[in-house]
Amino acid sequence: MSVEMGAMLDALRGVRWPARRPVAAGLPGAHRSRQRGTSGEFTEYRLYRQGDDPRRLDWKLLARSNRAFVRLTDDRALVPTWVVADASASLDYPLQETNGRPTKWDLLRAVAIGLAAVAHAGADPVGLLVASGNGARLAPRTRRGTVREVSRALYETRCIGASAIAPLLAPLSPNCRIVVLSDLLGDLDETLRTVAQLIAAGAQVDCVHVVAVEELELPEGVFLAVDPDESSSLPRALHRGARAEYRRAFDEFRAEAARRWRASGAGYLEARTDASPARLVRHIVSGAAGEVHADASSGLPLGPNDSPTERRA
Amino acid sequence: MIGVGAPWILGLAGLGALVTVVLHFLSVRRPPVMMLPTMRFLPNRAVRAVSRSARPSDLLLMLMRAAALLLIGVALAGVTWKGTGVKHGRIVVLQRGAGEDIALAQRAVTDAMRGAFTGDTVTRMVVIDSATRVLSSAQSRAFKADTLTAVARSRFDNSVATPTLSAALLAGIRAASAVVREERTVEEVDLVIAAPFTRASIDAAMPEARAMWNGTIRLVDTHASVPQVSEADSAMTARGVMFAGERPNDAVAFAFAARGWAVAANSNTARFAPLVSGQPIVLEWPASGVPSGWTATTPDTIGAVVARGRALVFPFVRSAQIPETISKQGRAVAWWSDGQIAAIEIPTANSCTRHVGVSIPASSDVLQGQGARSLLLALSGPCGGEAGAEPSLSAGALHELEGAGNLAPARAFRSSTVVRTPWAAFLLVLALALLVAEWWLRDQEEAAVRSVEDELNALGKVA
């Protein structure tokens, strides 16, 4: 783990990542559960109905009022968190750092480790799925060293080939929290279909769309563009006349992707490579990604100077 | 000092090299490949585009191509190292002729040759008398004005050629070309023409000949200042003719004798000499009208004979025609009214003989009248024409011919044909070697590109 990563984890110390809505029943944890259980945190009374556990009767209240009430309490549960990282060849862009900006994979890796650290600090099990690349898979765990394992797996990953995120998401349990980090240049349609099914089943999904600044501001000159993901596709000429058309199409794609993710009920955040990873993590865990969905239809991405707090305000 | 024989060839080569360099900066080719994950958002158009770069592509090939072009240009343009040497050329044309004042000619030559071989000046002498002689550099250096008197006056006094400025100019241009060819460092040429200029010196070729000399000319008139002789005075001058060949009829002999002129028959110089000083005029005027050597023709009548600008009108019978071979040898002194030659003067060693093809009836008195005076004066005048008969050119006309401005530039006399550089063969071979190397290098690069493309195709990188 690099020095920069350590500084980012220091910056995220104390940050909590509450679930956006009650989670399914599970092991005791920090998130409010949809199950009314027997914990000591009283919530309300309810008239006894046949079939209720007699041990939950409030005998003192029965003695005073001669009516049988059942004592209800909120349950707290853990939420397993899956960090799904897209390691397709397109993430390895630009090929080297330019103007101090990291590559898309560098940013994705930092955000993934930050999210894993925050979730792990909240005692949530953290797992890792890597699409493409070496296909690393770490089951959600809460033990010590989980973040280190996640970090090691990500650092050992090489961006190769095309991504297929949907097959990774399909077998996941809906009783979990999923963060998809990708440039969305792969199987976007299938991924969105799978995500919609998971969300409908109760999963909490966030999408971090990684965009390189160099993709927005293409370099000057005439080039022959080749898609690293789809090597079989014909190359296309990048020249002055094509820039405006490219930018318009790319803007439309990003806006459409944001709209579709938000429409499916997932959170969406566009992360440029010139943004701070720690700030992006704070933005995601605060739930602002989901809130931004509502007001970010303007397509405004989170820039390097935007803070999640300001966004929430 | 570097000289260029054909600067336009060097300019063309330089332009070609410049275009080559520019093309290396701007070329239509397959642009460099760049991995772009968002390539799908680019419009799907042709992958060949004009690539303009701040740095030239294929620097080595560009240098080889430009160098080959420049080498060819240098080889064909005749670039030479001229060194330092003479810069001024001087051409002195001395044209001699009837009416020349020897003293004036000597003075003109002396003045023109003063300082002619000092410093950065080279001089070439051209003498025109009966022939045009362009003296070599050594002959010009050794030429003395005193030698002018040693040349027999008959060489030009009896010359049928009238000294003309156009002939002198052409001779000067020829000499200037020789000087410029021999002395590569010459930058300008000075032309001095010393000649007895008369109005007859200006002929029809003069304007074109003058236009060929692109500079000023120094003209020195050596014409003797002989008082103008009127026709009457000319007629009063003692004259004499000796008849030769077939005897003329009495009307002819009487016509001369009646004017008090000496007449001798059959070259009787003993009888002639006491009467007339100078060289005798031999006149062949046969009664038949067919001088020796002329071609007899069917007699026909013709109305007039013209001499010295005057016409003698009479129903003459023309019985002969002068052959072209003979007409080329002499100077016509009388013409029929239709333009054919009626009398011609052919120079001999010390004199001249005039052949007259005009048949005069024995009983005719046509030569007795005033109308025949011009014909008789023309036939009895001195060989080569009468001195002082032609008026000198005015100072204004001479000044106009001299022109104003600078001396003629030497480049006007250099040949426009391709001048070979001494090391032209070596340069051409070097250029050829460069082109062969360029071809080999280009072939190697293309082979490398093909192999890379094949490899990419195999990997499915490039369709």
CB–CB contact A219 B462 (8 Å): no
Phi-psi group of A81: left, alpha or beta (phi > 0 → left; psi -120 to 50 → alpha; rest → beta): beta
Which chain B residues touch A212 with a CB distance below 8 Å?
A: 37
Query: Can you tell me the distance from the alpha carbon of B103 to that of B53, in angstroms, rounded to the nearest whole number?
Result: 78
In order of A125, A206, B365, the CA distances from A199 in angstroms are 19, 10, 149
Q: For every one of its 313 residues, what pLDDT tens digit does chain A have, with 9 covering 90 and above?
A: 666 788 888 889 888 888 887 777 777 777 777 776 666 677 788 899 999 888 888 999 999 999 999 988 777 788 899 999 999 988 988 876 667 788 999 999 999 999 999 999 988 999 999 987 678 899 999 999 999 999 999 999 988 888 789 999 999 988 889 999 999 998 899 999 999 999 998 889 999 999 999 899 888 877 888 888 776 677 787 877 788 899 999 999 999 999 999 999 999 999 999 999 999 999 998 876 654 433 333 334 444 444 443 333 2
Q: pLDDT value at position A304?
A: 44
Q: pLDDT value at position B461?
A: 47
CB–CB contact B42 A253 (8 Å): no
CB–CB contact B31 A223 (8 Å): yes
User: Of the candidates A89, A230, A246, which has its C-beta nearest B41's C-beta?
Assistant: A246
Helix ranges, B214-259 (H): 231-236, 250-257
Which chain B residues touch A228 with a CB distance below 8 Å?
A: 35, 37
Q: What is the ipTM of this complex?
A: 0.78
CB–CB contact A185 B38 (8 Å): yes
B50 touching A (Cβ < 8 Å): yes
Which chain B residues touch A234 with a CB distance below 8 Å?
A: 44, 47, 463
- Nearest-CA distance A156 → chain B (Å): 22
**Polymer length of chain A:** 313
CB–CB contact B463 A249 (8 Å): no
User: Of the candidates B34, B43, B460, which has its C-beta nearest A224's C-beta?
Assistant: B34
User: Of the candidates A93, A235, A237, which has its C-beta nearest B37's C-beta?
Assistant: A93
A42 touching B (Cβ < 8 Å): no
User: Of the candidates B33, B41, B51, which has its C-beta nearest A235's C-beta?
Assistant: B33
pLDDT tens profile A202-231: 889 999 999 999 899 888 877 888 888 776
B458 touching A (Cβ < 8 Å): no
Q: pLDDT value at position B46?
A: 58
CB–CB contact B35 A234 (8 Å): no
- Nearest-CA distance A154 → chain B (Å): 21
A155 touching B (Cβ < 8 Å): no
The packing angle between helices B59-77 and B424-459, to 10°, is 160
- Nearest-CA distance B43 → chain A (Å): 6
Place of tokens 């809130």: A291
- Chain A nearest-CA residue for B460: A232
Q: pLDDT value at position B459?
A: 57
Q: Is the dihedral of CA A15, A19, A20, A22 positive or negative?
A: negative
Contacts of B229 (CB under 8 A, 6+ apart): B237, B386, B388, B389
CB–CB contact B39 A236 (8 Å): yes
- Nearest-CA distance B56 → chain A (Å): 14
Q: Which of B30, B27, B34, B33 is closest to B57 using CA atoms?
A: B27
- Nearest-CA distance A40 → chain B (Å): 54
In order of B17, B329, B442, the CA distances from B23 in angstroms are 10, 68, 16
Strand, coil or helix: B60: helix
pLDDT tens profile B177-191: 888 888 777 888 888
The strand pair at B49-52 and B26-29 is best described as antiparallel
Q: pLDDT value at position A130?
A: 93
CB pairs under 8 A between A and B: 106
Please, which residues 236-295 of chain A have a Cβ atom closer than 8 Å to chain B?
236-239, 242, 245-246, 249-250, 253
Cα B2 to the center of its chain, rounded Å: 30
User: Of the candidates B41, B46, B50, which has its C-beta nearest A253's C-beta?
Assistant: B41
User: What is the residue type of A96?
Assistant: Q
CB–CB contact B39 A233 (8 Å): yes
Q: pLDDT value at position A309?
A: 36
Strand, coil or helix: B14: helix
Q: pLDDT value at position A295?
A: 37
pLDDT tens profile A88-128: 988 988 876 667 788 999 999 999 999 999 999 988 999 99
CB–CB contact B39 A227 (8 Å): yes
Low-confidence ranges of chain B (pLDDT < 70): 1-3, 5, 27-30, 45-54, 80-86, 98, 130, 149-163, 225-239, 262, 265-280, 349-350, 384-391, 415-422, 453, 455-463
User: What is the residue type of B415?
Assistant: S
The strand pair at B408-409 and A223-226 is best described as unpaired
Please, which residues 11-30 of chain B have a Cβ atom closer than 8 Å to chain A?
30
Specify burial of residue A283 (Cβ count, 10 A radius: 0-12, 13-18, 19+): buried
CB–CB contact A226 B43 (8 Å): no
- Nearest-CA distance B450 → chain A (Å): 17
User: Of the candidates B40, B47, B52, which has its C-beta nearest A227's C-beta?
Assistant: B40
- Nearest-CA distance A207 → chain B (Å): 19
Bond prior to B7 in cis (omega within 30° of 0): no
* Residue B240 structure tokens: 């004499």
The partner residues of B3 in beta bridges, in order of sequence, read B80
The strand pair at A267-272 and A204-211 is best described as parallel
B55 touching A (Cβ < 8 Å): no
B238 touching A (Cβ < 8 Å): no
Give the best residue of B27, B30, B42 to mutate against chain A (max A CB count within 10 A): B42
CB–CB contact B36 A253 (8 Å): no
User: Of the candidates A225, A239, A249, which has its C-beta nearest B36's C-beta?
Assistant: A225
